[in-house]
Structure 1
Amino acid sequence: MRSLELTRGNEPLTVLCLGAHSDDIEIGLGGTLISMVTADRPLRVFWCVCSANGIRADEAEASANAFLGPQVERHTHFGNFEDSYFPSQSISIKQWMTEIRDTVVPDVIFTHTRDDAHQDHREISLLTWNVFRDQFILEYEIPKWDGDVGRPNVYVPLSRDAMDRKIDLLSCHFATQRSKDWFDEETFRGLARLRGMECRAPERYAEAFHIRKATVVF
């Protein structure tokens, strides 16, 4: 298994995170973001949530601050699209994403996987590929009752500290989600342990992604 490093000397790594809802980014790549921050590499993060209204917007803002910490340059964009109805709002969401595209040239984009069973997640993935055509895109997974987690082909090993911090921050910042039977430590740690086993992560945990298309330059 070979490793891919997104490095260019001391230049900041520009990361665009796209999530349908206010906890998606944290669930799908919270550990990866924590690892990026602790690697002490300059980062510029664009944190974009399509549906974040009222208390969910407050949760998203506080969570982004906590996951990234004060040393990371970050730009937050919160939309007010109606939860569960993204396919019927596709034109407006595409316009919102196009406006974001005009402000950033990311080194890597994180978005939902196109095979996600949730209609909102799936729409964001489709629009990501439609709007951003010249960037490196990694698709993250969200566990749910549909049983749609698939066969990823990119892994980010996580330290135990990063895994523990991800779970602590999810529990701390998303009071609106705690009543859901899937939103708990066992779900998040169990999936990360499985992905850690698949990539033989040194400290047993990992987050996994799908890469659909990439260009190799020598």
Structure 2
Amino acid sequence: MKRICLAAPGDRLSVLCVGAHSDDIEIGAGGTILSLLSEGVQLDVHWCVLSGGKERAAEARNSAEAFLRKAASYSIELGSFRDSFFPSQSNEIKSWLLALREKIDPDVIFTHSREDAHQDHREINELTTNVFRDHLVMEYEIPKWDGDFCSRNTYVPLTEDALNMKVALLLEHFGTQRSKDWFDADTFKGLARLRGMECRAPARFAEAFTVRKFVLV
């Protein structure tokens, strides 16, 4: 399997992370972010959560700050769109993303998957890929009871330390989610082990993404 380097130690990389809800980015791409930082990549991160009201807004901000503690720079934006009703707010969300595009030109975007069963997640994928048409977009996955897992074509191997840190930060910062029967260390580590097996990751763990297009030069 051919390995392609997203960024080498010391490189500067501009990253846009887009999540519908307060824990989505961390679950889908948190290990990748932590791994890049631990490898010495200088990340400039714009972290956007579109539905962040009340207690979940505080969770989102505190978690993002914990994950990005070693970033070269970061900014956090919290939207106030109504949870579970994103398709009916499509015009407003697209305008929000268009305004974001006026401010940043990221090297890579992490966002939701087109195949995700959650209507908010699918809407964010459609609008992100529509607004940011000339960018590398990596679609992450969120485990849940819908049973919507699919084959992925891109993997980021994780060390056990990076995975353990991701899981510890998730469990620490998202108290509102602990009552959900799928939100636990076994789910996150089990998925990482499965994806690590698929890509033969050296430390046995990985996060998986879908990349629709990229250019080899």
Q: Secondary structure at the match of 1:51?
A: coil
Task: Tell me which residue corresponds to 1:136.
Answer: 136
Q: Judge conservation of contact 1:37–1:72 (CA < 8 Å) in 2.
A: no
Percent identical residues? 58
Q: Distance in 2 between matches of 1:67 and 1:9?
A: 18
Q: Give every structure 1 segment of 4 or more consecutive aligned residues whose post-TM-superposition deviation is greater than 2 Å.
A: 6-11
Shift of 1:215: 2.1
Shift of 1:10: 4.8
Q: Distance in 2 between matches of 1:41 and 1:186?
A: 29
Shift of 1:7: 3.4
Q: Distance in 1 between matches of 2:70 and 2:152?
A: 32
Corresponding letter in the other structure for 2:98:
T
Q: Judge conservation of contact 2:8–2:41 (CA < 8 Å) in 1.
A: no
1:86 has 2:70 as partner: no
Task: Tell me which residue corresponds to 2:23.
Answer: 23
1:113 has 2:108 as partner: no
Task: Tell me which residue corresponds to 2:64.
Answer: 64
Q: Secondary structure at the match of 1:69?
A: coil
**Are the structure 2 counterparts of residues 28 and 9 from structure 1 closer, same or farther at C-alpha, using a change threshold of 3 Å?**
closer
Number of positions where the alignment pairs a residue of Structure 1 with one of Structure 2? 217
Shift of 1:71: 4.3
CA RMSD of aligned residues (A): 1.2
Q: Distance in 1 between matches of 2:134 and 2:71?
A: 28
**Are the structure 2 counterparts of residues 37 and 7 from structure 1 closer, same or farther at C-alpha, using a change threshold of 3 Å?**
closer
Shift of 1:214: 1.6
Shift of 1:4: 1.5
Q: Distance in 1 between matches of 2:112 and 2:71?
A: 26
Q: Distance in 1 between matches of 2:136 and 2:122?
A: 18
Q: Distance in 2 between matches of 1:194 and 1:70?
A: 28
Q: Distance in 2 between matches of 1:22 and 1:48?
A: 9
Q: Secondary structure at the match of 1:17?
A: strand
**Are the structure 2 counterparts of residues 10 and 188 from structure 1 closer, same or farther at C-alpha, using a change threshold of 3 Å?**
closer
Task: Tell me which residue corresponds to 1:211.
Answer: 211
Aligned ranges for residues 43-192 of structure 1 at < 5 Å? 43-192=43-192
Corresponding letter in the other structure for 1:32:
T
Shift of 1:150: 0.4
Q: Judge conservation of contact 1:195–1:208 (CA < 8 Å) in 2.
A: yes
Corresponding letter in the other structure for 1:29:
A
Q: Judge conservation of contact 2:97–2:131 (CA < 8 Å) in 1.
A: yes
For normalisation by structure 2, the TM-score amounts to 0.97
Q: Judge conservation of contact 2:141–2:209 (CA < 8 Å) in 1.
A: yes
Q: Distance in 2 between matches of 1:43 and 1:115?
A: 28
Shift of 1:72: 3.0
Q: Judge conservation of contact 1:16–1:109 (CA < 8 Å) in 2.
A: yes
Q: Deviations over 1:15-52 (max 9, x none)?
A: 00000000000000110010011111211001000101
In structure 1, the gaps of 5 or more residues are none
Corresponding letter in the other structure for 1:178:
R
Corresponding letter in the other structure for 1:103:
K
Corresponding letter in the other structure for 2:59:
E
